[in-house]
Amino acid sequence: MTRVVRIHEQGEPEVLRFEELQLRAPGPGEVRLRVHAIGLNRSEAMFRRGAYPVRPKFPTLIGYEGVGTVLALGPGVDGFKVGDRVSVVPNTSLGDIGMYAEEAIVPVRSLLHAPPGLSDVEAASIWMQYFTAMAIIEIGKATVGDYVIVRAASSSVGLAAIQLANWAGAVPIAATRRSDKAAALQAQGAKHVIATEEADLVAETMRITQGKGARLVFDPVGGPDVDMLARAMGDEGILFIYGGLSGQETVFPHWPAALKGLSIRGWVASAIWNKPERYARAQNLVLRGLAEGHLKPVIARTFPLAQIADAHRFLESNQQLGKIVVTVDS
């Protein structure tokens, strides 16, 4: 029997329930893993609450990112062997695999070899954050001379974007609601921090950029502040919206977009892993960035699996700086 977390109904973190299940043998193209560490994603809290476009079929497993060791191979699995330490890339639908568990059945297309030199906790944190933030490189072509506004900068993806912007020679400007995280964000590579509830983001950005505006904005929030972000941008900039955390509609910022030729661009990390060439390129970049020290996972806090509900509470508290990782005792 395997200890797994399932949810039987939508709701607060208490609905994350421990159960003992008989896990099936891995099918064709699948492996069975012993899970060592689980990277938490905000989408999982939304899935738990019922606020995600993928709705659970109850009871459902949960969790799709992490690190483990291959215990058994299904038929036709190439490239991995029993005992390999692997990362699980969150390219499955929420509920399809259950990484909140001691063991999990995972399709081989979700596996990458775990990067050498990273702890389990670090290796469980990297793929969602860097593949998501890779938008600013792959699509935005961030480069020397660019200014990049990173909204919700203290999230794992926000910090990944700050690291990628710095690597590309661009100047990251962290936008965060209050200034209490400013020093921590600067320590993590943000050249500038603007607390949007305390300062005028447009005026501050124009001051920092000497009137030029930001060429890139990376925003998981959307909603009414997008107009302000657009007014802080420069000619032919790209404003990525990669989430809807505001819960509000985003009105297209008509006049700033028209007069400056701005693009408001939707983005999800699947745009990396669904395209084989791009996926290969992004993997190589992330591994090289980690090896060369341009990229470094920031772990906000770890929780043991037994405290998964507390981990979700912390995830939804917006107090963290970086990735929340849950560890599984073997």
Binding site for its own copies (CB under 8 A): 53, 139, 222, 226, 236, 238, 241-242, 244, 249-268, 270-271
Least distance between its own copies and beta carbon 164 (Å): 18
In the complex with its own copies, which residue's Cβ is closer, 204 or 219? 219
Cβ neighbours of 319 (radius 10 Å): 12
Least distance between its own copies and beta carbon 245 (Å): 12
In the complex with its own copies, which residue's Cβ is closer, 143 or 274? 274
In the complex with its own copies, which residue's Cβ is closer, 206 or 257? 257
**CA atoms 279, 282, 283, 284: torsion sign:** positive
| Distance from C-alpha of 219 to C-alpha of 240, rounded to nearest angstrom | 6
CA distances from 312 to 40, 67, 235 (A): 8, 19, 40
In the complex with its own copies, which residue's Cβ is closer, 178 or 275? 275
Least distance between its own copies and beta carbon 188 (Å): 26
Least distance between its own copies and beta carbon 267 (Å): 6
Least distance between its own copies and beta carbon 238 (Å): 7
In the complex with its own copies, which residue's Cβ is closer, 74 or 244? 244
Residues 6+ apart with CB under 8 A from 9: 15, 58
In the complex with its own copies, which residue's Cβ is closer, 127 or 267? 267
User: Cβ distance 18 to 309 under 8 Å?
Assistant: no
Backbone angles phi, psi at 60, to 5 degrees: -130, 145
Least distance between its own copies and beta carbon 96 (Å): 17
Residues 6+ apart with CB under 8 A from 153: 159, 161, 162, 172, 174, 175, 176, 181, 185, 190, 193
Three-state SS at 158: helix
Least distance between its own copies and beta carbon 128 (Å): 15
| Distance from C-alpha of 325 to C-alpha of 316, rounded to nearest angstrom | 14
Cβ neighbours of 137 (radius 10 Å): 21
In the complex with its own copies, which residue's Cβ is closer, 250 or 302? 250
Q: What angle do CA 249, 253, 257 make, to 5 degrees?
A: 145
Looking at residue 167, its amino acid is W
Least distance between its own copies and beta carbon 50 (Å): 16
- Nearest CA to 311 out of 124, 161, 177, 185 is that of 124
In the complex with its own copies, which residue's Cβ is closer, 44 or 138? 138
User: Cβ distance 68 to 36 under 8 Å?
Assistant: yes
